[in-house]
């Protein structure tokens, strides 16, 4: 398929950043056929074509709409590619995004080119609302990760096990046994502070009283998870939260998502296709329920998100941002003093602060430069299709 190439003009930082992010989305979709881009393998996932169009709609809706001289691409796209912004208007139901066979992937490419041309003119003239454009770029980076994980879920269901990212290889994990590093108790300052972009849910910075604790220097690895399985981890109800045990029985969980047992051992589906399981790679595609059960089996617990953030600044942690997101023991709730922005942008994070658990760090699917120590990712505790793993903590 043709790639969109919004060439920066002139060479301003915002023009360059806009062009780079938009180009990377197309790079991630480059190996997908038009048929691939229509697939929606479950209600939580979205087609690749939808991700490409929705991130374009964001700039059209919140930056370009109503500006003198801008002509909208197609009035129907507001309904098709709005995600959850109630104040903007009605939208295609999320579970039914896969029925949007039209517009085609080629039409979405033309949509991206149309919006990119208008955005580059706006940015080149120095008229772009910088904070809103920055939000749009980080929003698109979130969807870049979702594009990979959603297509991985779809391709894992295919008997051909195709590669989302041909040539991708598992990042190597830290060798050897994991040590638990001591962290002194303190009153820690948590949350985003200083300069640079951050999402609203990372603020305001606030102080948290932390008791002394210990935290593993690396994530839990596949080799260790195999021991959990061999010891009956998925068959022992006392290890599980009640809702988690219900999920084990209802969904038939016996191993992490995308693991396949064959005559020659365990294999795992990844962005590069189906490959032999790497024993010393961090475990991935496990739910919070599984992570919590494993921690209990290991005589440990999941770190609270404030512990995780403070430890990152005080001790030498490995496998932070290029392997797996790490489940914490913290529910996704607003920080003290949090207030959502006014208008539609206020719907970005605030209304989701219930019924979900926080993950920290980043994964191999997270675009470079997107995550930071204060970043708060979040999903419901039963979700497995994201690149989610864990590291352990213990009380001192």
pLDDT digit string, tens, across residues 21-59: 999 999 999 999 999 999 999 999 999 999 999 999 999
Same domain, 136 and 207: no
| E-state strands within the chain | 180-183, 186-190, 206-210, 213-216, 259-262, 265-270, 273-276, 325-331, 357-360, 377-379, 388-389, 393-395
User: Residue 236: what pLDDT?
Assistant: 98
Same domain, 151 and 75: yes
Report cis status (omega within 30 of 0) of the bond before 10: yes
pLDDT above 90: percentage of residues in the chain: 90
Same domain, 146 and 235: no
What is d(CA 55, CA 46) in angstroms, rounded to the nearest whole number?
12
Tell whether 199 is covered by a domain. yes
Same domain, 107 and 246: no
Same domain, 372 and 224: yes
Q: Cβ atoms within 10 A of the Cβ of 297, count?
A: 17
Positive or negative, the CA dihedral 316, 322, 324, 328 is positive
Which of 156, 189, 210 is the last residue in one of the domains?
156
Number of domains in the chain: 2
Same domain, 101 and 199: no
Tell whether 58 is covered by a domain. yes
* pLDDT tens, residue by residue, 247-297: 999 999 999 999 999 999 999 999 999 999 999 999 999 999 999 999 999
Among the listed residues 321, 305, 315, 298, the one whose alpha carbon sits nearest the alpha carbon of residue 367: 321
Same domain, 187 and 336: yes
| pTM for this prediction | 0.95
Tell whether 383 is covered by a domain. yes
* pLDDT tens, residue by residue, 144-190: 999 999 999 999 999 999 999 999 999 989 999 999 999 999 999 99
Residue ranges making up the domain that contains 18:
13-156
Same domain, 242 and 361: yes
CATH of the domain at 296: 3.90.1580.10
Q: Which of the four pLDDT bands, split at 50, 70 and 90, describes residue 346?
A: confident
User: Residue 341: what pLDDT?
Assistant: 82
Same domain, 187 and 143: no
Among the listed residues 105, 108, 39, the one whose alpha carbon sits nearest the alpha carbon of residue 74: 108
Q: How far is CA 93 from CA 85, 86, 89, 100, 390, in A?
A: 12, 12, 12, 11, 32
């Amino acid at each position: 398929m043709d790639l969109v190439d919004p060439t920066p003009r002139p060479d301003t930082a915002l023009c360059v950043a806009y062009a780079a992010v938009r180009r990377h989305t197309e790079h991630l979709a480059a190996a997908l056929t038009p048929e691939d881009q229509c697939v929606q393998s479950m209600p939580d996932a979205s087609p690749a074509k939808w991700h490409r169009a929705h991130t374009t709609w964001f700039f059209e809706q919140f930056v370009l709409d109503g500006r003198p001289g801008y002509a909208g691409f197609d009035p129907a796209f507001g309904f098709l590619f709005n995600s959850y912004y109630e104040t903007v208007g009605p939208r295609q139901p999320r579970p039914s995004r896969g029925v949007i066979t039209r517009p085609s992937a080629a039409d979405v490419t033309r949509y991206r080119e149309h919006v990119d041309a208008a955005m580059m003119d706006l940015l080149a003239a120095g008229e772009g609302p910088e904070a809103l454009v920055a939000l749009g770029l980080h929003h698109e980076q979130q969807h870049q990760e979702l594009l990979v994980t959603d297509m991985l879920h779809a391709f894992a269901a295919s008997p051909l096990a195709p590669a989302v990212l041909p040539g991708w290889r598992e990042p190597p994990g830290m060798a050897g046994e994991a040590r638990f590093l001591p962290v002194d108790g303190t009153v820690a300052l948590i949350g985003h502070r200083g300069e640079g972009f951050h999402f609203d849910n990372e603020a305001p910075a606030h102080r948290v009283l932390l008791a002394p604790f210990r935290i593993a220097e690396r994530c839990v690895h596949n080799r260790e998870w195999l021991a959990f399985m061999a010891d009956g981890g998925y068959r022992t109800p006392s290890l599980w939260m009640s809702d988690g045990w219900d999920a084990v029985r209802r969904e038939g969980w016996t191993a992490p998502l995308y693991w396949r047992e064959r005559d020659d051992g365990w294999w795992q589906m990844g962005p590069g296709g189906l490959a032999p399981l790497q024993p010393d790679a961090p475990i991935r595609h496990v739910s919070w329920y599984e992570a919590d059960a494993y921690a209990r089996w290991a005589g440990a617990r999941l770190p609270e998100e404030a512990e995780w953030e403070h430890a990152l600044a005080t001790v030498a942690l490995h496998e932070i941002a290029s392997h797996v997101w790490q489940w914490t023991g913290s529910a996704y709730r607003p920080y003290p003093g949090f207030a959502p922005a006014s208008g539609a942008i206020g719907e970005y994070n605030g209304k989701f602060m219930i019924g979900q658990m926080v993950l920290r760090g980043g994964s191999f699917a997270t675009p470079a430069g997107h995550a930071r120590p204060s970043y708060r990712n979040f999903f419901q505790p039963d979700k497995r299709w994201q690149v989610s793993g864990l590291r352990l903590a213990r009380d001192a």
